[in-house]
Amino acid sequence: MIDKTLRILIADSQHFHRMKVERLFNGLGYYRVAPVQSLLELLTLVEYGCEPFDAVVINAELAAGSLDLLGFFLNNPHVRHALIYNEPSAPLQKAPGFAQENAQVSHAALPNAAIIEQLMALVDVRTEPECQRWSQVPALQRRA
């Protein structure tokens, strides 16, 4: 079962690309998605947001060399997982990208459903279902 409370941020200068990626998330059942069109908007939301983003999906062209995206996202307390796509320096291999801790880099011009599913498999991980945790609480505590 998916966690519909996950916060997702999509950053791309092209409106069509943002919509296409957002629809991929919607198709998986994630609707708490915020699209932005500039690096400044992304930095503002990430740094001054009230709670961290669970996933950030960004087009590498948005930074245009002005910011080391991989360095920014690695161990950033405001971003749990990041996918940087359209990155020409990403290694060409069978997997759609490579991962370093909480950041993935892909050379794909636009993430497809498989890449988004792979990202969300890392992001939306629960140790046990909510219903099991609730059933483990004694009945007396639940009434209180």
CATH number at residue 80: 3.40.50.2300
Q: What's the chain's length in residues?
A: 144
Number of domains the chain is built from = 1
| Whole-structure pTM value | 0.81
pLDDT < 70: residue spans in the chain:
90-101, 127-144
Give domain status of residue 63, yes or no: yes
Give domain status of residue 14, yes or no: yes
Residue with tokens 């069509």: 16
What whole-number distance in Å separates Cα of residue 37 and Cα of residue 5? 23
What whole-number distance in Å separates Cα of residue 119 and Cα of residue 129? 20
Give domain status of residue 1, yes or no: no
pLDDT confidence of residue 93 = 47
Give domain status of residue 2, yes or no: no
Give domain status of residue 107, yes or no: yes
pLDDT confidence of residue 89 = 80
Helix extents (H) in the chain: 15-27, 39-48, 69-73, 113-123, 130-136, 139-143
Give domain status of residue 42, yes or no: yes
pLDDT confidence of residue 65 = 84
CA 75 to chain centre: 14
For 83, the domain range is 8-143
Give domain status of residue 3, yes or no: no
